[in-house]
Chains A and B, each alone.
Chain A
Amino acid sequence: MTDQSVIEPSGSKPSKRFSRGNIILYGTLIVVSMYYLLPLYVMIVTSLKGMPEIRLGNVFAPPIEITFEPWVRAWAEACTGINCDGLSRGFWNSVNILIPSVVLSIAIASVNGYALAHWKFKGSETFFTILIIGAFIPYQTMLYPIVILLREIGLMGDLAGLVLVHTVFGMPILTLLFRNYFTSIPEELFKAARVDGAGFWGIYFRIMLPMALPIFVVAIILQVTGIWNDFLFGVIYTKPETYPMTVQLNNIVNSVQGVKEYNVNMAATLLTGLVPLIIYFISGKLFVRGIAAGAVKG
């Protein structure tokens, strides 16, 4: 299955006739679209209303008086426990987790994939098979041993520890992605480079990397959304000061203290969803390609 097939409509032009069948088809699609768009719409309008207006009206009504105060408060003042410095702390934590995790996981996985495709050695396929099977093991079975490992190397609760965890758990799918891509590069090219005297790293950097840029973009999209959206590892392997944005968001919204400020909550929720949404809308086709590639893991 080519990736293009996901993207390009196949066959002839859409028919222009408005037959009864077509009306039903478009009608259904529009109704379903509304279901998908509804939560986004509700979040946006709620986040732009003041609390009094929320208590009065219904969630679907557009704001009578638009206010950006909830956004400001969500970013800078929302409270988790005794800390009242807003989601900004979680945002920066997430950024600090995200960048090294994405770089490290992709660097390691791409080299793995390259070695598996072109430098097979005795046992390499076995390790790869274990890695892929590992992707299906529930994380819960590995959570505590990792706590022990991180404690042993002194990274428990540290952002660096979480970076390692993301690298480890991103490895199966990314390695598969890169292995499949590098396998599709003709073997003769690799052989020619060996005759030309390039070694393991020479071939990786000079021949393979320049040819693999599209798959790197796919991998980056996959990892940025995956790591940004992570909650489980963030909760377990960091401490409150280093909580990523998702964890902090959950703590803000679901905190039982104080009066619920729905508008601030929705602004905070939107803020957290903003990074992956931006990635999604600017990457478009590549995102589809990324998840299609991710789907291969099944």
Chain B
Amino acid sequence: MSSVSIRNLDLSFGAVDVLKNLNLEIAEGEFLVLLGSSGCGKSTLLNCIAGLIDVSGGQIHISGRNVTWEEPSDRGIGMVFQSYALYPQMTVEGNLSFGLKNQRMPKDQIAQRVARAAEILQIEPLLKRKPGALSGGQRQRVAIGRALVREADVFLFDEPLSNLDAKLRTDLRVELKALHKQLKNTMIYVTHDQVEAMTLADRIAIMRDGKIQQLDTPSVIYGKPRNKYVADFIGSPSMNFFEGDLSAEAGSCVFEGPDFTLPLTSYEFETPQIGRRKAWLGLRPEHIVTGEAAAAADLSADTIVDIVEPMGSDTLVWVNFGGKPIRVRTDGQSDLEPGDTLRIGLQSARASIFDHQSEDRL
């Protein structure tokens, strides 16, 4: 049974349609990440699920119940916000128990739940403090605790880590993953940080302009992006694109770029291709091989190095190929210099081909 089911959801603010006929099924215990650029409607979708915005059309079901018009507190959800949103005048304990008091839960039961959440999140020493006296990381833990004590079926996170510094972000990310393993709740998590999305998610939903572009596991999203937008959005540094022609004849298929031809010997097409059409070829910088491996690739070429950007663990090399500079990722110990010649190899197995017009994967 799916835990959260969104059917034909529409939402508009006045004349602006923010969500358009959106469908989404989330399985029980799943960790779903909503990923997309700023303003694409991620928070709006999350707020609709929480019942904080009235939808314009469609239905929302949580745990098999239609909750489209139910109060947020009756939906069996817990929510964590980017700005923590802790009640400043209440202690940490007060913050955790506020929701339970509103449910008129007996005192001893409240104390029990608060104690348990505090233990899980290791915030017991902070219980008597006010939010103003906490660090960012501690505040976000309390905010998670506030969702935790509700023992909700579904947790909603709206960019919970984006106000924290890089180090803390990584730590809390790992903790969140462990938390999910331990609690096994359904979690819906909004972010625009790809690393968070890739590491946390069971499945990622890529959103653009209020529509879901692709909903898949991280590895499929990364390896087989459904369209050019997703391909471009996922991966850092981002994918290299070449404009060209795809020509398919019985048994043999090639991509004819500006000044190269890549035989697509091991590319898996979504649908069999016949004839000739304009298309995009996408290659991730880390999938372009160099050195000895290049010789074994489907196509290899000598290129001139333009810029070298060492990034520690690896090195990003800009070379001229196909009439423009492209990015190639090589290992961290590279001693290349601008002007050097670098032999690169393109492999059709890891490439992506998109239709020129619709930009959908072929």
Contacts and interface: CB of A to CB of B under 8 A. Distances in A.
State yes or no: do A and B touch (Cβ within 8 Å).
yes
Interface of A: 186, 188-189, 191-198, 202, 206-207, 210-211
Contacts of B81: 188, 191-192
B77 A195 contact: yes
B88 interface: yes
A216 to B, nearest CB: 14
B191 to A, nearest CB: 16
A202 B102 contact: yes
Interface in B83-103: 83, 85-89, 98-99, 102-103
Contacts of A186: 83, 85
B47 interface: yes
A185 to B, nearest CB: 10
B80 to A, nearest CB: 9
B217 interface: no
Contacts of A198: 73, 98, 102
A197 B87 CA distance: 14
A66 B157 CA distance: 74
A191 B85 contact: yes
Given A198-B98, A206-B98, 14 more contacts: A188-B85, A189-B87, A191-B85, A192-B79, A193-B87, A194-B73, A195-B72, A195-B73, A195-B78, A196-B146, A197-B71, A197-B102, A197-B103, A202-B102
B185 interface: no
B52 A196 contact: no
Contacts of B73: 194-198
B83 A188 contact: yes
A193 B89 CA distance: 13
Contacts of A196: 73, 98-99, 102, 146, 150
Q: Which of A193, A202, A210 has the most B CB atoms < 10 Å from its CB?
A: A193
A198 B81 CA distance: 17
Nearest to A185: B88
A192 B77 CA distance: 11
Contacts of A197: 71-74, 99, 102-103
Given A195-B50, A202-B102, A211 B89 contact: yes
B2 to A, nearest CB: 22
B79 A195 contact: yes
B87 A207 contact: yes
A206 B87 CA distance: 9
Interface string B61-75: 000000000011110
Contacts of B103: 197
B82 interface: yes
B69 to A, nearest CB: 14
Interface of B: 47, 50-52, 71-74, 77-79, 81-83, 85-89, 98-99, 102-103, 146, 150
A191 B79 contact: yes
14 contacts: A186-B85, A191-B52, A192-B86, A194-B52, A194-B72, A194-B73, A195-B72, A195-B78, A196-B98, A196-B146, A197-B102, A198-B98, A207-B87, A211-B88
A264 B71 CA distance: 65
A75 B50 CA distance: 63
Contacts of A193: 87, 98
A195 B99 contact: yes
Contacts of A189: 85, 87
A207 B102 CA distance: 13
4 smallest beta-carbon distances between A and B, as pairs = A197-B73, A196-B99, A197-B102, A188-B85
A202 B81 CA distance: 20
Contacts of B88: 211
Nearest to A202: B102
Contacts of B78: 195
A206 B150 CA distance: 19
Q: Which of B74, B86, B102 has the most A CB atoms < 10 Å from its CB?
A: B102
Contacts of B146: 192, 196
A130 to B, nearest CB: 20
Contacts of B71: 194, 197
A188 B51 CA distance: 13
B144 to A, nearest CB: 12
A202 B78 CA distance: 19
A206 B102 CA distance: 11
A226 B91 CA distance: 38
Contacts of B82: 188
B39 to A, nearest CB: 17
A27 B147 CA distance: 64
Nearest to B89: A210
A195 B148 CA distance: 12
A188 B47 CA distance: 10
A30 to B, nearest CB: 44
A240 B255 CA distance: 98
A119 to B, nearest CB: 12
Contacts of A202: 102
B84 to A, nearest CB: 8
Nearest to A192: B85
Contacts of A211: 88-89
B48 to A, nearest CB: 12
A210 B50 CA distance: 26
A53 B40 CA distance: 82
Contacts of B83: 186, 188
Nearest to B50: A195
Contacts of B89: 210-211
A250 B73 CA distance: 58
Contacts of B50: 191, 195
B67 to A, nearest CB: 13
A274 to B, nearest CB: 36
B161 to A, nearest CB: 15
Contacts of A191: 47, 50, 52, 72, 79, 81, 85
A186 B52 CA distance: 14
Nearest to B104: A197
